[in-house]
Amino acid sequence: MGSNWGDSRYRRHGSVWNLKDDGTMSENFADDLLGLADSLVAQAEPGEEIEVVLSRGTSTTVKVYNQSIESLTSADGSSGGIRVIRDGQLGFAHCGSTDEAVLRQTLAEARDNLRFAEPDEFNRLAEPDGVESVRQATWSDEVLSFPADKKIELAMALESKVLGLDDRIVSARSTSYSDGWGHSVMVSTAGIRIAERSSSCSIGTQPLSESDGETQIGFGYGVWLEPSQVDVDKVAAEAAERAVKLFGAKKPLSGRMPIILEPRLAMTLLGIVSGMLAGDTVVRGRSPFANRLGESIASPLLTLTDDPTRSESLGAAEFDGEGLACRPNPLIVKGDLNRFLYDTYTARRVGVAPTASAVRGVRSLPGVGAQLLVMEPGAGSLEELIAGVDQGLLVNSFSGLHSGVNAVSGDFSVGADGLMIRDGAIAEPVREITAASTIQRLLQNIVAVGGDFEWLPSGDGAATLVIEDVSIAGV
């Protein structure tokens, strides 16, 4: 279980029932985990709140190299996380098991931990708030029965495909197929009782290319619900294109110019922005947008919503990390800051309704964050957007995002490579450059949003962005 709470066929109200997408009943896949969680929650003493999260899953990864199997990993795992609150004091403990004795120790450890936390009146578990969840299809039985030979075949096919697409591609550092499924349950004394399941599969490759003594590396990656949807050709084509497009790249002259970010990179930037709109950073005075609600913080061209209910996306989810039904949260509407994201704690502290924006893994406490970001598309294809730029940079990749972006000050300074744009057309490749601005200015300087909306492997939906006046440093 990651930031997405996955699939659910079980509701907290009513009796145990599981509906398949075709409306028929399926087996109650997580009754054992629910029973275990129920028994732990039942141990709550008067005045004590307990929340138990349990998960289990299986994953397989095949890596191939030079048309032979490099490794085949097969793994089963389970884990548990227990949160206890008493008199506003919070304790947490986690374990890598769903063994009952281990979970009882984990509960005892969480109780012990809470004695040292300072009381906070807003520390209470999430209570169901009447918002109905939207059913999502994030489960397919196909992953369970997909044979190992077929998994190997897909990885081999991807490697041979990408090697055959361009003479300059000499090998692929790593090519893989992965799949997995998981069950998770959450039960609490506050009335949350849900079970969810999810499955997915993915392929990826990193081709190496050589020309005139220069080596370049590309990458391609895709995620699907079930193996029959895997698109080898698409991933291979993306990876091959990235592996050969920067041959002969040089450092450009320094200057201020517009940059064009393809949907994937546009979402990288907006993902950082969404972190700056998370309630915990806002209430703790770490967001430069803290006092800007209702004000213009971005170009009027930008509308950004966190909406895990979007069924078209693989990232769609029914519940957040505290068990509340997911709901759409418009963050930036035509450039105006419309809303922050809140979990139960931060919403209570600010005195607003929760936005069901708790994100968590089993082994950590819930935090606040976006779950499925969607940009509203504008107009124009990538070619049309390029044609509108006199001199600029079509970015191929950013590096150092973790070290070069400060979400508190907004300072933005990252490594980059890409293709120069001159007179509205793609010109020479460039590398070893930095791109610098501030997050605040980048948002205001958006001059175009493309009509080329796409759903990314991350689950987010994005379109190309054109941002002007960015400092590009080369020579």
Find the part of the chain contacting another protein (CB under 8 A) among 26-34, 68-76, 264-272, 315-323.
68-76
- Assess 67 for contact with another protein (CB under 8 A): no
The Cα 171–Cα 180 span in angstroms is 27
- Least Cβ distance, residue 71 to another protein (angstroms): 4
Nearer to another protein, 229 or 406 (CB): 406
DSSP string, 347-391: HHHHTS-----EE--TTS--EE--SSEEEPP-S--HHHHHHT-SE
* 246-305 residues near another protein, rule: CB under 8 A: 251, 254, 283-286, 288
Find the part of the chain contacting another protein (CB under 8 A) among 1-9, 89-97, 193-201, 353-361.
89-97
The Cα 420–Cα 442 span in angstroms is 19
- Least Cβ distance, residue 376 to another protein (angstroms): 28
* 327-366 residues near another protein, rule: CB under 8 A: 363-365
- Least Cβ distance, residue 133 to another protein (angstroms): 28
- The CA-atom distances, in angstroms, between 450 and each of 220, 304, 332, 372, 405 are 22, 14, 17, 19, 25
**Contact track, another protein, 92-121, x by CB under 8 A:** xxxxxx----x--xx--xx-xxxxxxx-x-
β-bridge partners, 86: 48, 89
Find the part of the chain contacting another protein (CB under 8 A) among 36-44, 306-314, 336-344, 414-422.
414-422
* 424-463 residues near another protein, rule: CB under 8 A: 431-438
Nearer to another protein, 12 or 292 (CB): 292
- Give 82's contacts (C-beta < 8 A, 6+ positions apart): 40, 50, 51, 52, 53, 92, 93, 94, 103, 106, 107, 110
Query: What is the CA 467 to chain-centroid distance, rounded?
Result: 23
- Assess 39 for contact with another protein (CB under 8 A): no
- Least Cβ distance, residue 365 to another protein (angstroms): 6
- Assess 408 for contact with another protein (CB under 8 A): yes
The Cα 369–Cα 354 span in angstroms is 12
- Assess 409 for contact with another protein (CB under 8 A): yes
* 176-205 residues near another protein, rule: CB under 8 A: none
Per-residue H/E/C for 206-275: EEEEEECCEEEECCEEEEECCHHHCCHHHHHHHHHHHHHCCCCCECCCCEEEEEEECHHHHHHHHHHHHH
Nearer to another protein, 330 or 404 (CB): 404
- Least Cβ distance, residue 289 to another protein (angstroms): 11
| Residue of 26, 31, 43, 65 interacting with another protein (CB under 8 A) | 65
- Give 411's contacts (C-beta < 8 A, 6+ positions apart): 405, 438, 439
Q: How many CB atoms lie within 10 A of CB 42?
A: 10
Q: Which of 131, 224, 185 is nearest to 6 (CA)?
A: 185
Nearer to another protein, 88 or 424 (CB): 88
Residue 213 burial class via C-beta count within 10 angstroms: exposed 0-12, middle 13-18, buried 19 and up: exposed
Number of residues engaging another protein in binding (CB under 8 A): 80
**Contact track, another protein, 361-400, x by CB under 8 A:** --xxx---------------------------------xx
- Assess 173 for contact with another protein (CB under 8 A): yes
**Contact track, another protein, 132-151, x by CB under 8 A:** ----------------x---
**Position of tokens 């004590």?**
48
Nearer to another protein, 222 or 377 (CB): 222
- Least Cβ distance, residue 24 to another protein (angstroms): 33
- The CA-atom distances, in angstroms, between 429 and each of 208, 437, 440 are 17, 22, 28
Q: How far apart are the first and last CA of the chain?
A: 45
- Give 104's contacts (C-beta < 8 A, 6+ positions apart): 40
- Least Cβ distance, residue 141 to another protein (angstroms): 21
- Least Cβ distance, residue 101 to another protein (angstroms): 12
- Least Cβ distance, residue 461 to another protein (angstroms): 25
